[in-house]
Structure 1
Amino acid sequence: MLGSGSPTSKEKPASPEAEKFQMVYRFDAIRAFGVLSQLKLAQTALTVVALPPGWYWYSQGLMTFNSLCLAGGIAGFALTMLCWMSYFFRRLVGILYVNEAGTVLRVAHLTFWGWRQDTYCPVADVIPFTESQDRPQELFMRIQQYSGKQTFYLTLRYGRVLDRERFSRVFGVLDTHKGPAGRQASR
């Protein structure tokens, strides 16, 4: 997985200060998703921290077993939702950049903690949208790599392509007629 710090993956190009990147795509709501991710972490921590006092109160007869089970269920649900939301938010693209040579794609996305993280991958490893089953009309399109290391999601419906030429060099020309019977979607 790119960005995981594994010994075989590169998280940064050889000389990042020598590289100059141009923004080609932006999803403005990514900041709100970062805040939501941080709030979800805090909410989950609070519900899990409430369990030990609940056990104590139950052992002292101050809390019923049903109340303890309810608290445990809420904490379990909060943990499950945290895992699901984190899985999605870590793959949601906020900004895409391409270096001036057009050889490196920089993907700005969120970490588990809701902060920004940049992941670098060679443009040659990115599967163009023209080779994918995703359609531009769908809510999310996958950014995949031939190496299969990482998959990201971007939304063309709510995000903005800022530099259509550079974007097309990386992902191919978006075919709005792609779909059943070659007809254009009404969205």
Structure 2
Amino acid sequence: MAALLRAVRRFRGKAVWERPLHGLWCCSGQEDPKRWVGSSSPISKEKLPNAETEKFWMFYRFDAIRTFGFLSRLKLAQTALTVVALPPGYYLYSEGLLTVNTVCLMSGISGFALTMLCWMSYFLRRLVGILYLNESGTMLRVAHLNFWGWRQDTYCPMADVIPLTETKDRPQEMFVRIQRYSGKQTFYVTLRYGRILDRQRFTQVFGVHQMLK
């Protein structure tokens, strides 16, 4: 995964990497997410009634999340194609047009593709693209990917977010977990490849760690 992150960053290039995102992930902390072009933000079950009207401020962004979203959708399409090809393969085998080895190879490729899809989906759905904090400092909004590779927002009450200072994770590690006292969904943030846009809000959410001073 570390090699993949480095490859994505080199592929995008410095000029592209530093350029503001567009489309799905293009938004400043002051903009209304409803205005995003091409965005797809299903309402999270955790969303509170006033979260729709309250202003949120961006304080962390992982630029390569759009690339990972594309890879997720590409992997989903590739898996679907390999699985759909199985029934015709079995039919051709029954007609004597394919050998046993060919059918076994097709089945193996489909099984491997499904396994990789499950693994990638499990991780990518928890990889954080953007973090926001509302003006009152009581609600954290996490922008991440859903199973289909599109953006999804999850709202977490600040009182339920475990500060980084209370976990064993270290900021210099590849991924830092966003955990909750309630034990619900865990997300992953990469401080090595992501960007902290507002250090004050970041420390307000995750605490003042000695590596962030």
Normalised by the size of structure 1, how large is the TM-score?
0.88
2:158 matches 1:146: no
2:79 matches 1:44: yes
Query: Corresponding residue for 1:183?
Result: none
1:85 partner letter:
M
1:144-183 matched pairs, under 5 angstroms: 144-176=179-211
In 2, Cα distance between the equivalents of 1:170 and 1:77? 39
Question: How far does the alpha carbon of each residue in 1:39-93 deviate from its partner, in whole angstroms, 9 at most, with x for none?
Answer: 0000000000000010011001100001100000000000000000000000000
Question: How far does the alpha carbon of each residue in 1:124-150 deviate from its partner, in whole angstroms, 9 at most, with x for none?
Answer: 110000001011110000000000011
Q: Structure 2: any 5+ residue segments left out of the alignment?
A: 1-41
Query: Corresponding residue for 1:120?
Result: 155
In 2, Cα distance between the equivalents of 1:102 and 1:10? 20
Query: Corresponding residue for 1:132?
Result: 167
2:120 matches 1:101: no
Any conservation in 2 of the 1:89–1:110 contact (CA below 8 Å)?
yes
Q: Name the Cα RMSD after superposition.
A: 1.7
In 1, Cα distance between the equivalents of 2:108 and 2:102? 10
- How much has 1:11 moved relative to structure 2? 2.8
- How much has 1:173 moved relative to structure 2? 1.1
Q: 2:95 aligns with which of 29, 47, 60?
A: 60
Question: How far does the alpha carbon of each residue in 1:144-166 deviate from its partner, in whole angstroms, 9 at most, with x for none?
Answer: 00000110000000000101001
In 2, Cα distance between the equivalents of 1:123 and 1:169? 10
In 2, Cα distance between the equivalents of 1:31 and 1:174? 29
Any conservation in 2 of the 1:136–1:175 contact (CA below 8 Å)?
no
- Higher normalized helix content (fraction of residues): 2
Query: Corresponding residue for 1:185?
Result: none
1:13 partner letter:
L
1:1-40 matched pairs, under 5 angstroms: 10-40=45-75
In 2, Cα distance between the equivalents of 1:40 and 1:119? 24
Any conservation in 2 of the 1:137–1:157 contact (CA below 8 Å)?
yes
Number of aligned residues: 172
Query: Corresponding residue for 1:88?
Result: 123
In 2, Cα distance between the equivalents of 1:18 and 1:32? 30
Query: Corresponding residue for 1:182?
Result: none
Identity of aligned residues (%): 75
- How much has 1:18 moved relative to structure 2? 2.0
Q: Structure 1: any 5+ residue segments left out of the alignment?
A: 178-187
